[in-house]
Amino acid sequence: MKFIENVERDKYVAFTSMHEKSHFLQSYAWGEFCRRIKGQIPNYVGMEDENGKLVATALVLLRNTPFGYSYGYSPRGFIADYKNKEVIAEFTKYLREFMKKKKIIYIKFDPDIPYQDIDSEAKPIERGKNNYELYNYMLSLGYHHTGFYRLYEGNQPRYTFRINLKREWTDVENAMSKSFIKSVKRSETYNLKIDNEEKIEDFYRLVQCNSSKDDFNPHTLKYYEVFTEELKKEGAVKYFNVSIKPKELTKTISEEIVKVKKELETAKKRVEDLKNKLARLEKDLEIFQNIDKDECVVCSLICTYTKNRAWSMFIGSDELANITFAVTRSYYEAIKDAYNHGYEFFDLFGTPGDPHTTYKNLAKLHDFKRKFGDQYIEFIGEFDLVNKKLLYKVLPTMLKCYRKLRKVKENS
C-alpha cells in the first residue's frame, strides 16, 4: 500500500463523503474552516491500495508549538474500515513515519465508533454489542487511550443520541416521546414559518440569548460566517429558521378569545378546560400585541451533513421560541428533512454520559434530547498516537507556561 501526504481535494471529498464511516469533522471543508478560524494546519493524508484506490484517509489538524514541534488532532478518527486490521495497522505505521518526518509530538484520534451498547442510565447492557476487541487492538498498535470521560472533557462529546432514519417515518415518530410530539403539534397553533435561508446575523443574535441563559460563551460572528461559507462549498450545511408573525398572531388570538368567551357563556362541560385555554390565549395576546414587527426569527438551527449522514450542530433561540415551541419544531423539521433526503441517521451531536449530572445544565440538555427517541450511544473515546514520549508528557505544562508568558507580554 502507498501513503499519500496530500490527497487531492476531489479525490478526498469523494472518498470521505460516501464512506460508511463518513463524518463532517473529517471533511475537507472542516479542515479549511479550522485553517481560517482556529489557525490549525490541515493535512489531508491517505493510503491507497495497489490499484491506486483510497482505503483510508485522515484529516490531521496540526498546531505548531514554540519549540519547533507540532501536535495534531484528527477529529472523529480516520476514515477506514475498522474491521480490516491490516488496513488499520498499515495506516498506523505510515502515520508514525509521517509524524517523524513532520516533527509531530502526537496525534489525537477519537473514532466515530461505539464502545458498547448502553441503557438509559449509560450502563452497559448485558450481552449487548461492543467493540472491546477493537479497543484492545488499538492499544496493541501503540495507541494510548486517554480515559472514559462522561461529560464534555474531551475534544468531542463521548455520548450522543442518534435517530435511525432507515425505516418508515411513522416508526421514527413513534420512537419520539409523547411530550415531544405534543409540543410539535402545539407549535402549529402559532402558524410558524420555516425557511432554510442563511440568516447568520439572526442566528448570532439568538445564540447570544442562549449563552446568557445557559452559561456558555458563544463563538464570534465571524466563526459562524466562515463555518457556513466553507461547509457550503460541499453542500454540507443547512439552516432551519423558525419565524413568527406577531401582528397576524395578535389578530388570530384576539378572534380565538372572542370564540372561547362565547363558548364559555353556554358551556356545561369542559368549563375548566375552556377557562385554562382562555387564560393561555390572554397571556399570549399580552406578549404578541407588544411586538411591533410583521415577522421575526425566534429560533435558528444549523445542521451539517455528509452524503449519507446528518448532524444538528448549533442552535439559537429566544424566549419567544419557548412560548411558541419553536425549538422542538426546528428539530422536528430538520429530522424530517433528513429523512426525506434519504440520510442514514440524524445525530444530536452530544449529550452527557451521566444523565443526572449537576454540572451546568447538562442534565436538562440530556432530558431534552432523549425525548427525540432512539439510540443512546457511547463512543470508544480518545486515542493518542505518540511520537515523542518525553515531549508528550511535558507538553501540557510547557504550553500552559508559554500561554501565561504570552498573556503577560500582551498586557504589559
Distance CA 11, CA 59 (A): 13
Tens of pLDDT, residues 291-342: 999 999 999 999 999 999 999 999 999 999 999 999 999 999 999 999 999 9
Sheet strand arrangement including 310-317: 114-117, 375-379, 159-164, 345-347, 310-317, 296-305, 237-244, 193-195
Class of the CATH-defined domain 2-112+382-411: alpha beta
Q: Is residue 401 a contact partner of residue 128, using CB atoms and an 8 Å limit?
A: no
Specify the pLDDT at position 66: 82
Q: Which three cell numbers stand for residue 120?
A: 438509559
Mean pLDDT of 277-302: 95
Q: Would you place residue 354 in the very low, low, confident or very high pLDDT band (cuts 50, 70, 90)?
A: very high
Residue 167 pLDDT exceeds 80: yes
Q: Where are the domains of the chain?
A: 2-112+382-411, 167-245+295-343, 246-291
Residue 410 has pLDDT above 70, yes or no: no
Q: In this model, does residue 407 exceed pLDDT 70?
A: no
User: Please, which residues bridge with residue 3 across strands?
Assistant: 47
Mean pLDDT of 188-213: 92
Average pLDDT over residues 19-39: 96
- Model pLDDT for residues 104-160, shown as the tens digit of each residue: 999 999 999 999 999 999 999 999 999 999 999 999 999 999 999 999 999 999 999
DSSP-assigned letter for residue 70: E
Mean pLDDT of 365-369: 94
pLDDT in tens, 69-103: 999 999 999 999 999 999 999 999 999 999 999 99
Q: What pLDDT does 55 receive?
A: 97
The answer, yes or no, to whether residue 210 has pLDDT greater than 90, is no
Topology of the domain covering 167-245+295-343: Aminopeptidase (3.40.630)
Amino acid in position 87: V
Amino acid at 264: L
Q: What is the pLDDT of residue 396?
A: 85
Residue 405: φ, ψ to 5°: -65, -40
Separation of alpha carbons 357 and 147, rounded Å: 18
CB neighbours (10 Å) of residue 97? 11
Residues in the chain: 412
Q: What CA–CA distance (Å, rounded) separates 248 from 211?
A: 30
Distance CA 366, CA 351 (A): 6
3 state SS for 136-156: HHHHHCCCEECCCCCCCCCCC
What is the predicted pLDDT for the residue at 212? 65
Whether 167-245+295-343 and 2-112+382-411 are alike in CATH topology: the answer is yes
Question: Looking at residues 40-53, what average pLDDT do you find?
Answer: 96
Q: Is the pLDDT score of 265 beyond 90?
A: no
β-bridge pairing 193-195 and 383-386 = unpaired
> What's the confidence (pLDDT) of residue 222?
97
Residues 6 or more apart in contact with residue 87 via CB below 8 angstroms: 1, 47, 55, 56, 80, 81
